[in-house]
Amino acid sequence: MSIICCFQDNPKMPVFPIISLKSEVREYLKSVFLNKELLAAVGHQEAEQRFERLLACLSHPPSHTCVRASTHLAPLDEIRQRLREELKKQLCSSSAEVPVEIVPHPCIPDVLLLPVDGPRPVQQLQSGVVVGALCGSAVLRGAHVYAPGIVASPKFMKAGDVVSVFSDIDGRCTRGATSFQGHKVFVGNGVAEMDRAAIFCTKEPLKGVGVRMTEPLYQSPSFDGVLPNLAFLQNLPSVVVGHVLGPCLGERVLDICAAPGGKTCHIASLMKDQGEVVALDKIRNKIERVRQNAQMLQLQSIKVFCFDGVKAVSSDTEKLKETDGPPFPPESFDRVLLDAPCSGLGQRPNMANTWSLKEICSYQPLQRKLFQAAVSLLKKGGVLVYSTCTVTLAENEEQVAWALKTFPYLTLQPQEPHIGAEGMPGAGLSPEQLRLLQRFSPELSWEQTQANTPLPDRASTDTIGFFIAKFLKT
């Protein structure tokens, strides 16, 4: 069964599948979005509509690509100009219409926005390649299909064949299959750059582009190899996190869950590479990405360690003597970022989430342990920013309520910039406290997005789902 994007009278009004969730997860999320406090604030009908809109917008990509410009290396205007030239070259070398409109964000000084055109009326072909769901989502955000992402291809596929690309959204297709009748979504057409045998009958590690997208359903430029040191692809709320943390030159900052290092590099860039940014992550092969990104962006102030953030604080003087890395004594840092591991339910586009309710609900205890370590490592007078890319209360507003109760010396702080919505009622926080929180809620502006409002107006709201809280330790 394939699902094709089809169109009503308004070509910008897609009939595209809503995100598919396990029924227990859907019911749980519904109870979050129809909680008593929210119902009292907005009424049943509005709360229900918001929930339905959330399910719809999660399966669609945001209508812009966000680029964080390395303003520690060059001025924004220069980066914008060079990016335009690079993308024009891309336009000349392919038949695709690449938009060269590049707009600075109206209130974030290091952000450039590029419109995404879609969904476009692309005709599905006879011959089809099936890719994994992550690869399918990347294609919807402008990427080509990398060979490791291909799960199935036609039996006699040769380099040069024109093929349709489908995303195996439930992960059911067998690797190496020649066809797949399961739940798949059409994401566009492209040209195969490899024969089938080169993809499925090789012992070498697979790399490189397997299908070059020529007619993607959502058109946005491919950033593969485009000014890698100057233009860093990052979701807008993630860039907001760096500014909200507000690091200053010469400070010592801890990014306790850092990989792959997008926010670490932003923090070091905002500090003009002066001071020290310590990046920790528990997973060894992920931490290598932080090193690579720091090197690519020419940032020397970043120190990277593979370490469990929960154990990053110690008062044991013997242990501390052994190394200048973790564990650290309490009150070692001027600012701490806890960009927490989370259920990731705000990520877009995401057509299917196969997690159980138990998995979705498993993050709260770990986040609290990390939070405890983060608070302990922060100096008095220091700033702690907590963020997630999920939409549940349990990992966001409930964590804030818990933190304020558990650590009475923490106070919520206003955020700059504050371009998202305020916190969601449901965790017993006061209206004043909710106003200090920043929740990116794409469902609140979904109609505006579909009506194709001008890019700068919709860019701040048509984002992934995201949450930011800023605390001061007194």
Residue 282 binds ligand SAM (CB under 6 A): yes
DSSP alpha helices (H): ranges in 102-203?
133-140, 196-200
**Annotation says 389 is catalytic:** yes
Name the phi and psi angles at 336, rounded to 5: -130, 135
Read off the DSSP letter of residue 322: T
CB of 310 to ligand SAM, least distance (A): 5
What would the two tokens of residue 283 be?
């997973």
Which of the ranges 140-148, 173-181, 279-287, 357-365 carries the binding residues for ligand SAM, by CB under 6 A?
Answer: 279-287
Does position 263 interact with ligand SAM (CB under 6 A)? The reply is yes
Burial class (CB in 10 A: 0-12, 13-18, 19+), 187: buried
Q: DSSP string covering 348-387, please?
A: SS-SEE---HHHHTTHHHHHHHHHHHHHHHEEEEEEEEEE
CB 264 → ligand SAM: shortest distance, Å?
A: 7
Residue 81 CB contacts under 8 Å (≥ 6 apart), including other chains? none
E-assigned strand segments in 229-301: 231-233, 252-255, 276-281
- Residue indicated by tokens 């501390």: 320
260 binds ligand SAM (CB under 6 A): yes
Alpha-carbon span 445 to 452, nearest angstrom? 11
Q: Choosing from 5, 66, 135, 389, which is the catalytic residue?
A: 389
Task: For ligand SAM, give the closer residue by CB, 87 or 245.
Answer: 245
**Rounded least distance, CB 85 to ligand SAM, Å:** 28
Among 35, 209, 237, smallest CA distance to 135 is for 209
Q: Is 280 in the site for ligand SAM (CB under 6 A)?
A: yes
Strand ranges across the sheet with 111-115:
103-104, 111-115, 64-69, 231-233
273 annotated as ligand-binding: no
**In whole angstroms, how close is the CB of 368 to ligand SAM at the nearest point?**
12
Of 85, 169, 86, 49, the C-alpha closest to 441 is 49
Binding mask 339-368 for ligand SAM (x = CB under 6 A): x-x---------------------------
One of 262, 346, 420, 442 touching ligand SAM (CB under 6 A): 262
- Cβ neighbours of 1 (radius 10 Å): 7
Question: Which residues 123-152 are close enough to bind ligand SAM by CB under 6 A?
Answer: none
Q: Which helix (H) or strand (E) holds 113?
A: strand 111-115
Q: Report whether 258 belongs to an annotated binding site.
A: yes
Of the pair 191, 389, the CB lying nearest ligand SAM is at 389
For 142, the enclosing helix (H) or strand (E) is none
To ligand SAM, the closest distance from the beta carbon of 238 in angstroms equals 6
Residue 194 φ/ψ, nearest 5 degrees:
-140, 150
Of residues 302 through 321, those in contact with ligand SAM by CB under 6 A are: 308-310
Of the candidates 255, 268, 272, the one whose C-alpha atom is nearest the C-alpha of residue 294 is 268
Q: Nearer Cβ to ligand SAM, position 215 or 395?
A: 395
CB burial string 3-34: b at 16+ within 10 A, e below: bebeeeeeeeebebbbbbbbeebbebbbebbe
Question: Residue 342 or 400: which CB sits closer to ligand SAM?
Answer: 342
Residue 385, interface with ligand SAM (CB under 6 A)? no
118 vs 326 by CB, closer to ligand SAM: 326
Asked whether position 259 contacts ligand SAM by CB under 6 A, the answer is yes
Tell whether 262 is in a known binding site. yes
Phi and psi of 313, rounded to 5°? Answer: -115, 135
Cβ distance to ligand SAM smaller for residue 153 or 293: 293
Determine if residue 306 is labeled as part of a ligand binding site: no
- Applying CB under 6 A, which part among 29-37, 192-200, 254-262, 457-465 lies near ligand SAM? 254-262
User: Pick from 11, 62, 6, 59: which is nearest to 449 by CA?
Assistant: 62
- One residue of 137, 164, 189, 238 binding ligand SAM per CB under 6 A: 238
In this chain, which stretch among 60-68, 102-110, 277-285, 314-322 interacts with ligand SAM, using CB under 6 A? 277-285
* Residue 186 or 386 having the CB closest to ligand SAM: 386
- The stretch near ligand SAM (CB under 6 A) out of 99-107, 134-142, 156-164, 274-282 is 274-282
**313: which DSSP letter?**
B
Among 159, 248, 283, 451, binds ligand SAM (CB under 6 A): 283
By beta-carbon proximity to ligand SAM, the closer residue of 165 and 313 is 313
249 CB-contact burial (10 Å; exposed 0-12 / middle 13-18 / buried 19+): exposed
Residue 136 is assigned to a ligand binding site: no
Least distance from C-beta 266 to ligand SAM, angstroms?
8
- Residue ranges for the binding site? 257-263, 281, 308, 339
- Residue ranges for the binding site for S-adenosyl-L-methionine? 257-263, 281, 308, 339
Which residues are catalytic, by number?
389
Residues in touch with ligand SAM (CB under 6 A): 238, 257-263, 280-283, 286, 308-310, 339, 341
